[in-house]
Amino acid sequence: MKVFAFVLVIVTGIMLVVTAADFPAWGDAHSPPNQYLSTHYITQAEHETAVPNMVTAVLADYRGFDTMFETAVVFCAGLAIAAILGHEKKKRYVVRRKALPKTEEGDIIIRMATRFLVPVTQLFAMYVIAHGHHSPGGGFQGGVILAATFILMTLAFDLKTILGRFSEKMTLIWANVGLFIYAGIGVLCVLLGSRFLEYSALHKILPGTDEIMARSHSMLGVEIGVALTVMSMLFAIYAHLVSKGRLEDGL
């Protein structure tokens, strides 16, 4: 196997190296990818969508259909992992508790630090989501950070406790809500007589906007949808992986 793999890798590698000689030089501003569509996105994005962060504009508007399926991929992965690792017979989630347990073993410093860190981090995540129009970031990054805060809490406390707050059922519901927001905005455009995900149609129902601002605002909605799905599904994936699907004790 090793010899075979080695030969395969060498052959493929040589093919790629030979091809790389044909590439435009690295960093060339006049190479085809940097000219054709790129120019349009750079110069027109703000005109057409009122979003200065071109990445967000392309992500959520020009190629919004891609992003919807990117979100669906995350959703699909969450379902997949629950399906693969899930155990049926047992009770799947614990009773909701009102407060975090007061006295348990574990490092008090870590727990206290977590208590301080989590709200701040979540606030930052929301900033990342909301400010994606103007700075790096957006729904996906924000969603990951939100998921990370929950993971941090499971590390500091334990999985059962956190699942009591954010149960598997809740993750499913929020993930669905996220995708529904995304796809729903798309369908809304259809209902308003435009094509799928053609946000400009939404200016008819968004007060005080023109077609361009409608695009900008819808993108925010879309980003929120992405964030919700990513947050809940990534946390659910973690919860399943860390407990081999039993959802009882974490690390």
Partner 1 sequence: MIWQFDLFILVLLVITALVALKVRDLLSAAMIFSIYSLLMCLLWAEMGAVDVAFTEAAVGAGLSTVFLIATILRTTRRTTD
Partner 2 sequence: MSENLPFLVIAAPLFGALVASLVGWARPRYCYAIAMVSLAAGLTAAIALLVKVSGTVSGYEYRLGGWPPPIGIQHWVDPLSALILVVITAVAFLAVMSARANLQLELPGKERFVYPLMLLMVTGLSGMTLTGDAFNLYVLLEITSLSSYALVAIGRGRAAASCLNYIIMGTIGASFYLLGVGYLYLKTGSLNMIDLRQIMIAGDMHGSQTVITGFILITVGFWIKMGLYPLHGWLPNAYSFAPHAASNLMAPLMTKVSVYVSLRMMLSVFTPDFLAVHALWAQTALLVATIAIIAGSLIAYSQTDVKKLLCYLVVAEVGYMAGGMWLMNRAGITGTIYHIAADAFMTCCLFLGASGLIASTGSRHIRSFRGATRRMPWTFAAFLVGGLSMIGVPPTCGFFSKWFLIQGAIEGGAWHFVAALIFSSLINALIFFRIIELAYFKDVEHEDDVSHPPQVQRNEAPWGIRIPLFITSVVIVLLGVFSPRVINWIERFVDSVGVT
Partner 3 sequence: MSDVLTFIISRFNYWIYIVLMMIGLYAMIAKRNYVKKFIGMSIFQTAIILFYVSTGVKSGATIPILEHGHDIGHAAAAINPDHYANPLPHVLMLTAIVVGVATLGVALAVVQKVHDQYETIEEPEILFKLGQE
State the residues that interact with partner 3 by CB under 8 A.
1-2, 4-6, 8-10, 12-13, 16-17, 20-21, 23, 25-29, 31, 33-35, 37-39, 41-43, 45-47, 50, 52-55, 57-59, 63, 66-67, 70, 73-74, 76-77, 80-81, 84-85, 134-136, 140, 230, 234, 237, 240-241, 244-245
Cα 186–chain centre separation: 18
Closer CB to partner 2, residue 18 or residue 99?
A: 18
Closer CB to partner 3, residue 140 or residue 166?
A: 140
Whether 175 and 228 have beta carbons less than 8 Å apart is answered as yes
Amino acid at 117: L
Amino acid at 70: E
Q: How many CB atoms lie within 10 A of CB 23?
A: 9
Structure tokens at 75: 């959703």
Cα 8 to Cα 3, 11, 13, 15, distances in angstroms: 9, 5, 8, 11
Nearest distance in Å: CB 227, partner 3: 13
Which residue, chain included where needed, has tokens 């149609």? Answer: 201
Structure tokens at 13: 């590698």
Q: What residues between 219 and 248 interact with partner 1 by CB under 8 A?
A: 234, 237-238, 241-244
Closer CB to partner 3, residue 24 or residue 106?
A: 24
Residues that bind partner 1 (CB under 8 A): 27, 53, 55-56, 136-138, 140-141, 144-145, 147-148, 151, 234, 237-238, 241-244, 251
